[in-house]
Chain A
């Protein structure tokens, strides 16, 4: 786990915050606001400050107890509700990532490398964003936030078993979305795909 503090500490902090201790609130905000911001940002872009704020406000206002699977999962589950609400209101996905409209800053990297890297990154991002929200979330929570299957199950409100199969299908969908390019440079084959399906165990 990438967080070097005791998880039970989170529960204590939350209880103190609910009891009016603002220092405990500050500690939790410091610890988890980057993660919550990242969660919204990858789906909605930069204008997310209100959602991050509402998520924490919901968590403090709620009187329910946090499941034994941890505060992080609980927090992200609340964030997910907020996200779904927001998307329902907006009813449209953010516009596709337009590489051509983003500045390339001059850096030390050689021109061709830099452009190639940016192109690949843009292709990945576009592919990720083309997936369904459920797929996108399961991939991000697994690989960006290092959440366990059990934790993700809490966030998404499904069984751990569903998480496992959904992760496999999400990876396949991502590869599929990248496919036109991948086949052209021959780096991914159906055989590799098959092996991946069987070997990964979250």
Chain B
């Protein structure tokens, strides 16, 4: 082979050699792990990044690889962006991580969520939401109408606007960096190249020095050639205008199927962009001219000639959409009416002015919601000092923005219906405008509430914002017919009353009990003074809710009842339905009168048949509460059906990422857990947890509830270490969010103590229980069911740690309190009876023990169903009493029933092995099949052996001895 440098063959070969593409270290490791698992059945070496177990490769880029991974901590799938870079790229990596952190703070429905950034290990990585769906690139491969294209691109555009508002620039926007979720939501991803916008003035102290550094960085080039703005080609700093350019290239491509500029090389591509002459293919002649003009303006070679901002580009597109819709409908109307063309021409100019006026009417929403109001609210929320307040503020904002957007559209459309399309009657328009007025008052009142800077209010912000009444109902003619606006001459009189209502509603919604009650009473007084009966009924319902929040359940019931009958008499069926629905819950869950609750649910059904319920939210709430009542009466089939119905209705009305959907999932999960279906329970809790983390933020106390639910499932499965870890995390979240003296923290401590007791760590368990009791004493008082359950736990712990008398006394106190607060047939009374029975047995009081177990069995069978673990446990204990008394046939029958139940339940139950061994002995004694006895004993032995350290040594030794003594078959 020749060796001269000048030899073209050597140079060709060298270039060819350099073309060899070696996988980076991470790809290589991942591939090897997959191959070992698939070919050698060896899954012992999965590749982990931090706690994340990788599942597959989603894509590769210049600076890293994107993986699908499993997060065992939260039991969900995530996308990991692992940064594999050369040492000389450490600046770039550091910047990427910093930008990812900015993204994590941002949180917007049209941006891929960044969960966390890990730069602790050798390989830094970014943990992002795993979006089920396709890339915009793949989506664009299908033929799409220009209207579909706009819907998707407006979503992506809003994501960019949100980023720009925070001073972030994407710099590599392109169709393959945008995800179109299976849920229809569009999310901009991969802000890996994002950098701070040098033109946004910086807060001194925050990012200040970073920004200066970014401004002075020049001579670097970033982006994807086809989508890069000319200034990026030139290596100049790229601002938001570069994102606008890339967005317009992609939009152009989506509309016409080809990019606006072409070139054989980068140089010629750059020149074409500098010339700025766009060749528009004739492939999609249906695209309107205004849209072409809007996109082409964004492709101007000079940034100054483009739209002033992404937001203005989007506004222009939205205006165009509205005009097109109007024209389409107007043309159709003309065709039908057969009006001569001349008349249409005559009205054309006037129509344009009217359309403009309608847009102005829609823009009125800025009076209650604008950048300044938003900034003030955000600052107040952060200043409240609530844990994770900045995250909460960021998560709250999109709900309010969406609400304001919806209002703007609805107001414009109502105006267009009236002024341009002539499509609605004066009455409908009047009702619609009044409805929209109420919605702005509610928005304004909530924003005022959130701007108070109260930490407790801040915590409720997302849920309160997400549950504002829908604006869409104001455009639903059927729903409007059900509304009762006051006669025009009384409106000015009624308006202050509505403001008072909205303020009261906001206080109740954000959990301010005392103020909520005072304000709702004030609103009712005003309504009575004005003499506007429908509002009086509404105010009364609000008052009932405030009373319920203040735990005055009796007064709440009375007031709610009055609200229902007043509303029904007036034919205010919406208010009546809401009142009866609320009473269904209150009377069952808070007052324990389930039969009455079902009666209220029937009233609610009747009212609902007359009321407007366009989105199905009223039906959803009713289903959820009927489910709660059904669960309380152990009608699990009905509870299941109702919860499923509620979930389906909520999901279709609110979308899948909504706090209310998470609540519905949690109800269903608890029900499945009670039925012993642990896999499904866990799956449902995990879904709820994922939603809560996403929409409420990871530090929200509701996240603690989901963790607790998961822990309870783990505990029911016998996985105490997982249960303990999850309960401890739940308590940590609640302590941080609510303070160490909150009753929810106490409830968490009781849960931990339960697991510790099961593991024999009694001293620690007792400490926690005493701490919980002292919290309860200071908050809910000493006569609360929670105090009873805590005492019960404490009693068991005393008994298990060698203090049976102290244990028995404590448990007797607990049982008495439970009967008093929950009623004599409550499942918890059954559990306490069972536990007390074991203590009587220990202290030698067989008669009392037997009575306790019989009571436990009766309650468990009646309340929890014949196949519940509690039934098995009671049978098992009762069996012991009979065996001790020498009544072996009775004992054998009871033991057989207990084992049959255990065999039907998934997972190893706490007393199961002991029961198997006892049955083995009993059945052999009573002349049963020795082979079966052996099998039973062996199963018990194997389970104990498998438990290792945690096993009961004495029991294990006993079963081994017994098996050894057994004559061979």
Contact = CB atoms under 8 A, between A and B. Distances in A.
Contacts of B19: 121, 124-125, 128, 144
Contacts of B489: none
A98 to B, nearest CB: 8
Contact of B31 (A42, A49, A100): A49
B271 to A, nearest CB: 14
B193 interface: yes
Q: Is the interface of A mostly helix, strand, loop or mixed?
A: helix
Contacts of A38: 20-23
Given A34-B23, A46-B60, A100-B226, A188 B8 contact: yes
B35 A144 contact: no
B509 interface: no
Contacts of B349: none
A8 to B, nearest CB: 23
Interface stretch (A62-70, A77-85, A111-119, A152-160): A111-119
B92 A139 contact: no
Contacts of A115: 221, 266
Contact of A101 (B31, B57, B176): B176
A6 interface: no
Interface in B10-52: 11-13, 15-23, 28, 31-32, 34-36, 38-42
A196 B9 contact: yes
Interface in B497-527: none
Given A29-B32, A107-B92, A128-B19, A101 B222 contact: no
Contacts of B209: none
Contacts of B7: 192
A29 B21 contact: no
A22 interface: yes
A84 B615 CA distance: 56
B12 A199 contact: no
B32 A101 contact: no
Given A29-B36, A49-B34, A103 B226 contact: no
Interface string B144-172: 00000000000000000000000000001
B586 to A, nearest CB: 57
Interface residues of B, number: 54
Given A105-B63, A107-B89, A174 B35 contact: no
A104 interface: yes
A201 B808 CA distance: 95
A99 B225 contact: yes
B219 interface: yes
Contacts of A111: 219-221, 235
Contact of B12 (A46, A119, A125, A171): A171
A137 B524 CA distance: 85
B673 interface: no
A143 B18 CA distance: 9
A92 interface: no
A22 B172 contact: no
B17 A53 contact: no
A115 to B, nearest CB: 5
B558 interface: no
Interface in A44-91: 46, 49, 52-53, 56-57, 60
Contact of A199 (B2, B28, B63): B2
26 contacts: A25-B36, A25-B40, A29-B32, A29-B40, A30-B32, A34-B22, A46-B57, A46-B59, A53-B39, A100-B224, A100-B225, A100-B266, A100-B269, A102-B225, A107-B92, A111-B219, A111-B221, A121-B19, A124-B15, A124-B16, A144-B17, A144-B19, A144-B20, A192-B9, A195-B2, A196-B8
User: Which 8 A-B pairs give the minimum distances between C-beta atoms?
Assistant: A100-B226, A106-B220, A196-B9, A105-B62, A144-B20, A22-B40, A106-B222, A100-B225
